Amino acid sequence: MKDGGLYQDLLQARFMIGSGPKIDVGERGNFITPFLQLGASYIDSYGNSSSGSSGSSGLVIHNEDYTRNWHILCGMGIDWQFEAIVPSSLNLQCTYTPLPVYRDPVAYTAVVGNEQYDRLLQGKLLQVMLSYRVHFYFKKAQ
């Protein structure tokens, strides 16, 4: 197990397309865009995952069936573009994977105190991302 807590051997690439109305806010060209998205995600789970330490509790996921699949994604969010010192934006989005990520349930072992529990994991993903962007324009729009 790696030291330092939780880790997972997972690679994900997302491709999303979406749209929403542009709502002007304020006087300086600030605007908010609520949006809906659809897309796909490639997920490659190529190893084991662990959390905790070698102490009294922990979790180990044994993923022998390496997962390399495409999945459907749907999402929504809000983008706020504003003039700070430089043109910037804050983007908050939620993305949901409506179908199970793994083809077959993945076995994992949870250790709590002196007891050990063997379980199966079959899940969907809900991801929340907050990003801050700085916009650099090479040519000013006319």
pTM, 2 dp: 0.65
Q: Which residues contact 16 (CB under 8 A, 6 or more apart)?
A: 37, 38, 39, 73, 75, 95
Residue range 4-43, pLDDT digits in tens: 444 556 778 889 999 999 999 877 778 999 999 999 998 8
Every domain of the chain and the residues it spans: 7-134
Q: What is the pLDDT of residues 91-102, one digit of tens each?
A: 999 999 888 877
